[in-house]
Amino acid sequence: MSALSYHSNTYDVNDYILPNGGIKSYAGTIIDNPRWLAEFAPALNNVERYVGSASIDVTPTDWLSIRYQLGLDQYNDGRKRYMPTGTDVGSQVNGFTINQEIKSKFINSNLLVTLKKNLTPDLEATLLMGHTVFDTKSEDFFVRGEGLVIPQFYDISNATNFFSFYDFSQSRTEGLFANVDLSYKRFLNFSASFRRDVTSTLIKPNNSFYYPSVSLGVILNEAFKLPRFVSFAKIRASYAETGKGTSPYLTGGYFGSAANFPFGTTPGFRRSSVIGSPDLRPERTKGVELGLDFQFFDNRFGFEFTYFDQSTIDQIFSIPVSNATGYSRFVANSGEINNKGVELIVNATPIKTKDFRWNAMINFTQTRGKVVSVAEGIDRVLIYDPGFIVSQAVPGGNVGDLFGFPYRRDSASNQLLIGTDGYPIVDLTSLKKVGNAFPDFIAAMTNTITFKGFSLAGQFEWKSGGDVYDMSMRNSFRNGVLKGTERRHELVVFKGVKADGTQNTTPVEVDGGAFYRSEGRYASAADVLLQDASWLRLRSISLGYTLPADLLRKSPFSTATITFSGNNVWLNTPYRGADPEASQNGSGSNAFGFAGLTIPAVRSYSVALNFSFK
């Protein structure tokens, strides 16, 4: 993806190979042909995954049941990368090859004891007690061989210089919990739980933490006589606390293997530039949730509404520190984040006959996150900084705020401020808030239509708002491959005002060096880099047909269904990259609003045959 963002669109990317099999590039070894790289310098992955589980169920009495389940999830990810001599990075070391083996193992143990009893004719009680163990282990073996003796022979033994490292990680979390559910006359439901976790990633006494929850629900149509058109009515409220440990090895300073250290190809161990704290505490979240669930007209129409308010304290961040300390970052608990939002689900069956049925469902979600505070002694937490657009948590700001260098504007008219040279000016003096990664709302509509044996289903999704930085964009306009850089070697008068407030009338030439590549005029401007990540997409669609039972009477099957499906079928977005949903940092990251340099989700189609036996 990086090579594709560099490559000029005035040269045919499919004209990529020389008669001798070498790379054909219009820029020598500076810009590689992405088509040639895909064929002769691939990044290969071979993943083997094994998932299994075993369980034992014992029911000594009609009110007591015991269940134990043990699960295993193990995968080996073998990776290889080849880079010939004639390429950009390969020419620097006479070609290289990489062998990497990543092994991960997850073991999950669960013991559940359930007691269910009617304490009185009107009061039913259920007590659930349990013990859980979640064990993780991962290993990473990496070898890079440089200086290939035989060209295009990518066995690791063909290299002359070798660099290697080994990484190991292991953690375990154990939990004890209990949950009690009480139901009175089928209309009043009360639930309370308590859990204690112990994690190996934190140091005593902070490695053990407790969190409770409590909820109450009232089914109104069971408690009161409501109009007949009310099929179901419920109000609910809950309070819950959760705790969360951290990744392994963040409570102190550690050493790791390093290439080119202490000198040359001599292997050694180097102290990490990140230092942790032995006083690191678990993250804690406390939240309140209120909800309404209603169904009307024999469940032909209904809705679920939820309001939530959650606060998370002691979030764990890696905070920049002065290099004079001997480290670059310090892992610590940092401040408080508050999230509030609403969720609405509306369901309807507009048409229902003997042979035809149309079900529709609309989901609406809106969330707002606020940075209440950060760690004592600092005014902000840097979350992610790839350059030019930065994610930071600033007290009083919103979760997902993005900071950058905008164009300077006239304070009176808000027009672009034009310099004495006739070009707009990027304010490079300090980072300023320029956007937010999170949307105003997300709405989805799912429709399912059935007619006799046919079934047609589809889901549309609408995401409104949210900003994103396409990290491949700077490469693209630096090399003039974007539509926005088509105007070159033209005289242009930029619309804006001078420092004295008068309109700009100075014509200037727009070209690659003087404008598009200039950080003070274009290349670093947040107005250029940040894009609207809204979208309207057809997330999925499927068409199925179930054979009539009469046709299967003499077959061994009770049902037979064929289904044609499509995913990521259609996308409409103002985003100029491939897909604004293709996050640069992947799931689990706190850095939102960064895309590009990754492979976007693919459009896929499938055919499924489902049979059930008599």
Residue-wise pLDDT for 289-340, tens only, equals 999 999 999 999 999 999 999 999 999 988 888 888 889 889 999 889 999 9
pLDDT of residue 260: 65
Beta-carbon contacts of 353 under 8 Å, excluding residues fewer than 6 positions away, are: none
**CA–CA distance, 393 with 331 (Å, rounded to integer):** 15
DSSP 8-state secondary structure symbol assigned to residue 357: E
In a domain, 313, yes or no: no
Give the range with max mean pLDDT: 141-150, 162-171, 359-368.
Answer: 359-368
Q: Phi then psi for 202, rounded to 5 degrees? A: -120, 165
The closest alpha carbon to 528, from 590, 455, 477, belongs to 477
User: With pLDDT > 90 as the criterion, what percentage of the chain qualifies?
Assistant: 68
Tell me the two tokens of residue 49.
Answer: 């995954």
Kindly report the number of other CB atoms within 10 A of residue 159's CB atom: 22
In a domain, 23, yes or no: yes
Of 343-347, 409-413, 570-574, 578-582, the range with the lowest mean pLDDT is 578-582
pLDDT for position 398: 97
pLDDT digits (tens, 9 = 90+) for 475-502: 777 777 777 788 888 899 999 999 999 9
Q: Provide the 3-class DSSP secondary structure of residue 573.
A: coil
Predicted confidence at residue 605, as pLDDT, reads 96
Query: Is pLDDT of 11 > 90?
Result: no
* CA 43 to chain CA centroid, nearest Å: 23
Q: Is residue 16 part of a domain?
A: yes
Tokens of 179: 């949950």
**Distance, CA of 339 to CA of 104 (rounded, Å):** 33
Cβ pair 565, 606 in contact under 8 A: yes
Q: Where residue 387 falls among pLDDT bands split at 50, 70, 90?
A: confident
pLDDT in tens, 49-73: 999 999 999 999 999 999 999 999 9
Domain that holds residue 19: 1-32
Per-residue pLDDT tens digits for 525-547:
999 999 999 999 999 999 999 99
Domain annotation covers residue 252: no
> Which candidate, 402, 437, 522, 426, places its Cα nearest to that of 474?
522
> What pLDDT sits at residue 28?
67
- Shortest CA distance to 596 belongs to which of 474, 482, 495? 474
| 3-state secondary structure string across 385-405 | CCCCEEEEECCCCECCEEEEE
Q: Tokens 């073991």 identify what position?
A: 107
CA angle 342/346/349 to nearest 5° reads: 175
Assigned domain for 17 exists? yes
Go through 565-594 and write b for each residue having 16 or more CB atoms within 10 A of its CB, e for each that does not.
Answer: bbbbbebebebebbbbbbbbbeeeeebbbb
pLDDT at 445: 98
**Angstrom distances, CA of residue 261 to CA of 139, 167, 212:** 22, 16, 49
Mean pLDDT of all residues belonging to the chain = 91
Hey, what are 528's tokens? 């250029």
3-state secondary structure of 40: helix
Which element (helix H / strand E) includes 15? Answer: none
Asked whether 493 and 505 are in contact (CB, 8 A), the reply is yes
pTM exceeding the 0.85 threshold for the entire prediction:
yes
Find how far residue 151's CA is from the centre of its chain: 40
Distance (Å, whole) CA 175 – CA 132: 5
> What are the beta bridge partners of residue 563?
544, 608
Closest CA to 583 of 398, 386, 442: 386
For range 391-409, the mean pLDDT: 96
Q: Is the pLDDT of residue 14 over 90?
A: no
- Residue 21: pLDDT band by 50, 70, 90 thresholds? confident
Residue type, 331: V
- pLDDT class for 590, splitting at 50, 70, 90? confident
Q: Which residues of 216-247 are buried (b: 16+ CB within 10 A; e: fewer)?
A: ebbbbbeeeeeeeebbebbebebebbbbbbbe
Pick the residue with more confidence: 585 or 345?
Answer: 345
DSSP assigned state of 512? I
Distance CA 375, CA 318 (A): 11
- Contact of 561 with 586, CB cutoff 8 Å: no
- Decide if 26 is inside a domain: yes
Of the candidates 356, 600, 361, the one whose C-alpha atom is nearest the C-alpha of residue 458 is 361
Pairing mode of beta strands 356-373, 329-352: antiparallel
Structure tokens at 541: 């669609």
Stretch 34-51: mean pLDDT: 89
Dihedrals phi, psi of 554, to nearest 5 degrees: -95, 5
Task: Give the helix/strand (H/E) hosting 36.
Answer: helix 34-40
- E strand or H helix that includes residue 8: none
pLDDT the model gives residue 178: 98
Asked if the model's pLDDT at residue 282 lies above 90, the reply is yes
State the pLDDT confidence band at 113, using cuts at 50, 70 and 90: very high
Highest mean pLDDT among 92-101, 342-351, 384-393, 508-517: 342-351
* Residue 536 and residue 591 in contact, taking contact as beta carbons nearer than 8 Å: no
The alpha carbon torsion through 473, 478, 479, 483 (nearest 10 deg) reads 60
Would you say 529 and 388 are in contact if contact means Cβ atoms under 8 Å apart? yes
CA angle 260-44-606, nearest 5°? 150
Three-class SS state of 370: strand
Name which residue leads in pLDDT, 44 or 347.
347
Residue by residue, DSSP assigns 528-569 as: HHEEE--EEEEEEEEEEEE--GGGGTTSSEEEEEEEEEEEEE
Residue-wise pLDDT for 550-562, tens only, equals: 888 888 888 999 9
d(CA 464, CA 462): 6
In a domain? residue 2: yes
Domain count, the chain: 1
Q: Are strands 381-384 and 329-352 parallel, antiparallel or unpaired?
A: unpaired
